[in-house]
Amino acid sequence: MIGLFRDFANGILKENPVFRLVLGMCPVLAVTAAVENGFWMGMAVIFVLTSSNLIIAILRHVIPEKIRIPCFIVVIATFVTMADLVMNAYLPAIHVKLGIFVPLIVVNCIILARAEAFASKRPILNSIADGLGMGIGFTLALLVISSVREILGTANLMIAGNPVFTGGLGFEPARVMVSPPGAFITMGVLLGLLNVATGRGRLKS
Amino acid sequence: MADYKVVVSSSPHLKTAVTTPILMRDVVIALLPAALAAIVFFGMNALTVMLVSVVSAVASEALFQKITGKAVTIGDFSAVVTGLLLAFNLPASVPLWIPVVGSAFAMIIVKQLFGGLGQNFLNPALAARAVLLASWPAHLTAVVGPFDVKTTATALVVMKTGQGQIPSLFDMFIGNMAGQLGETSALALIIGALYLLARKVIDWRTPVSYLGTVFVLTALFGRDPLSHLLAGGLMLGALFMATDYVTTPVTKKGRIIFGVGAGLITVLIRLYGGYPEGVTYAILLMNIATPLIDRFTVPRRFGYVKRS
């Protein structure tokens, strides 16, 4: 039980896929211009990551060593297609905004990394815990980055089509923050702040 | 035992009395004519923008260094130079929070986060200008004309759109035209640059190859090369930004490559790009290429013979 919780909590801060492993940067940088996009991207990743971890953990003794990567990809691609079709059916507006980045979850490093490094070697429950933890860690990171970007870049926050701050926040939005350079700036500054806060990267004297 | 007065140390063994504060103070002195011209043409607004920009640049650097527990280095004048250069790249009528945000970005994000003076890979003033332009384009492009402080199209916008009248070459040379507050007076900028050349603070290679490339290319493309030299931020960029020590090549050959590259990008953006002016992006792009240029232009070592 403690092991399960440790595997779950691991992905949230200690090995946060975005701020610690720095994996899957493509969606992190590309879809975080708005909180809503970040949230749904995170949901899709949680679903794919947990499901593929589960299946791969079940099949871990069946999959031949030499062709394990293609096998993982087949499993991952199946779940990504499911996520893609479900989003297309029930969240068409979000699906249009996320565009190519939903199918691209197939090649997202986090998912393959967890399959290879974790799920293919651990029991089923631990793999589920790891997938959930990593997915939630990824989602939290996306939420933090996208709220910084959306607030600074639009002086407001849109949730389910409604502005959170009626009339805006009273400053002129810095449009660079919702354009691609803003993603790099936000990501870099947040990563640095987190390292300072947790005492990482400090020179050993 | 004899008391040898010998100090064992690693190279360099020859040191000059020229230090960073002296160099930076020279740059500030060299920028003063252009600052004066800005005040003459754009009035007290220009002075206010410059003061706000310089003060906030120095304050941002000091604040950041205080908070992070680093030695406060505002005495080396480099923050003053960055603040002044940023102000030179803003219209005189800009709201005053723009230079504050810009200076803070330049000093904290572009300079200090990369390790402070000597470590930044981009020119802080130009990077801040690019961010300001991407964020609040309306404020940055609403440039005002001289004396009347009315929003006017710059010579480059006129050249791009073909609407309106470009100023006479003489007006462009002395700075009697619309533009960012410190870039208009080629005369004042050249006086400052000559001072720096005489003091051997800057190298002639970058500005000459930069301006030369723009001159030749605009002539080749059938434009008026002189008005392209005098319009926009080219003089300011070529004389004061492309000669920055930190973000441009150290080798002689490298400096010429830098100048030619910046000239090429500037002309391409001006003639075929979406923006009327390309100096900012040209220099920033060449800043990024600088480590590569330095690597490929390492001079021959003394006494070294190339193996055949």
| Nearest-angstrom CA–CA distance, B87 and B181 | 7
Question: CA separation (Å) from A164 to A34, A158, A161, A178?
Answer: 13, 6, 9, 17
Residue A205 pLDDT class (50, 70, 90 cuts): very low
pLDDT given for residue B20 in this prediction: 86
CA B43, chain centre distance (Å): 22
- In the Cβ-directed half-sphere of B34, how many Cα atoms lie within 13 Å? 34
**Does the pLDDT value for residue A204 go beyond 60?**
no
Which residue is closest to B134 within chain A, CA to CA?
Answer: A176
- Is A117 an 8 Å CB contact of chain B? no
- CA dist B125 and B307 (Å) reads 44
Helix (H) or strand (E) holding A74: helix A68-90
Please name the residue that has the structure tokens 């490559």.
Answer: B257
Split at pLDDT 50, 70, 90, the class of B212 is: very high
Report d(CA B3, CA A204) in Å as an integer. 37
Amino acid B288: pLDDT = 95
CB contacts < 8 A, A to B, total 22
* β-strands A162-163, A158-159 pairing: antiparallel
CB A29 within 8 A of CB A184: yes
Q: Does A184 touch chain B (CB under 8 A)?
A: no
Please give the model's pTM, rounded to 2 decimal places. Answer: 0.87
Cβ pair B136:A177 closer than 8 A: no
User: Which pLDDT score, from 0 to 100, does residue B1 have?
Assistant: 53
CA pair distance A185, B122, nearest whole angstrom: 14
Q: Are B181 and B34 in contact (CB under 8 A)?
A: no
Q: Judge residue B271's burial from the number of C-beta atoms within 10 Å of its C-beta, 0-12 exposed, 13-18 middle, 19 or more buried.
A: middle
Is the ipTM higher than 0.90? The answer is no
Chain A residues closer than 8 Å to B134 by CB = 175-176, 179, 181
Phi/psi at B118 (nearest 5 deg)?
95, -10
Residue A43 amino acid letter? M
Q: Is the pLDDT of residue B233 over 60?
A: yes
Cβ atoms within 10 Å of A50's Cβ, excluding its own: 23
pLDDT above 50: residue B12: yes
From A19's Cα to the closest Cα of chain B, the distance in A is 17
- The answer to whether A193 contacts chain B (CB < 8 Å) is no
Tokens, residue A66: 């030499």
> What mean pLDDT do residues B215-233 have?
92
Q: In the structure, what pLDDT confidence band is assigned to residue A59 with cuts at 50, 70 and 90?
A: very high
Give contacts of A177 with chain B, Cβ < 8 Å. Answer: 135
Alpha carbon distances (Å) from B281 to B5, B106, B255: 53, 15, 17
Q: How much is the pLDDT for A201?
A: 64
Q: What pLDDT does residue B14 have?
A: 78
What is the mean pLDDT of the segment spanning B50-57? 96
Q: Give burial (CB, 10 Å; 0-12/13-18/19+) of B186.
A: buried
Residue of A151, A152, A171, A176 for testing the chain B interface, max B β-carbons within 10 Å: A176
Tokens (6 digits) for B162: 């073909």
CA distance B167 to B155: 7
Residue that is written with structure tokens 């206010």 in the block: B48
Residue in A175, A177, A185 nearest the CB of B109: A185
**Cα A99 from Cα B305, distance rounded (Å):** 58
Q: Between chains, do B135 and A188 touch, taking CB under 8 Å as contact?
A: no
Q: Does B135 touch chain A (CB under 8 A)?
A: yes
| pLDDT the model gives residue A71 | 93
3-state secondary structure chain B: CCCCCCCCCCCCCCCCCCCHHHHHHHHHHHHHHHHHHHHHHHCHHHHHHHHHHHHHHHHHHHHHHHHCCCCCCHHHCHHHHHHHHHHHCCCCCCCCHHHHHHHHHHHHHHHHHHCCCCCCCCCHHHHHHHHHHHHCHHHHHCCECCCCCCECCCHHHHHHHCCCCCCCHHHHHHCCCCCCCCCCCHHHHHHHHHHHHHCCCCCCHHHHHHHHHHHHHHHHCCCCHHHHHHCCCHHHHHHHHCCCCCCCCCCHHHHHHHHHHHHHHHHHHHHHCCCCCCHHHHHHHHHHHHHHHHHHCCCCCCCCCCCC
- State the smallest CA–CA distance between residue A127 and chain B in angstroms: 38
- Please list every residue in chain A whose beta carbon sits closer than 8 Å to the beta carbon of residue B136: 172, 174-175
For residue A186, pLDDT over 80 is answered with yes
Task: Provide the pLDDT confidence category of residue B162 given band limits of 50, 70 and 90.
Answer: confident
Compute the nearest-CA separation of B5 from chain A (Å): 32
Name the residue of chain B whose CA is nearest to A178's CA. B135
For residue A174, give the nearest of B109, B113, B135 by CB distance. B135
Is A28 within 8 Å of A137 (Cβ atoms)?
no
Lowest mean pLDDT among A116-130, B139-153, B288-302: B139-153
Do the chains contact at B135 and A173, CB–CB below 8 Å?
yes
Task: Work out the minimum CA distance from A12 to partner chain B, whole angstroms.
Answer: 26
Model confidence pLDDT, tens digit, residues A116-169:
999 999 999 999 999 999 999 999 999 999 999 999 998 888 887 778 877 777
Residue A158 forms beta bridges with which residues?
Answer: A163
Judged by DSSP in three states, A179 sits in coil
Q: Flag if B135 and A189 touch (Cβ within 8 Å).
A: no
B140 close contact with A: CB closer than 8 A: no
Q: Are B200 and B17 in contact (CB under 8 A)?
A: no
Residue A49 predicted with pLDDT over 60: yes
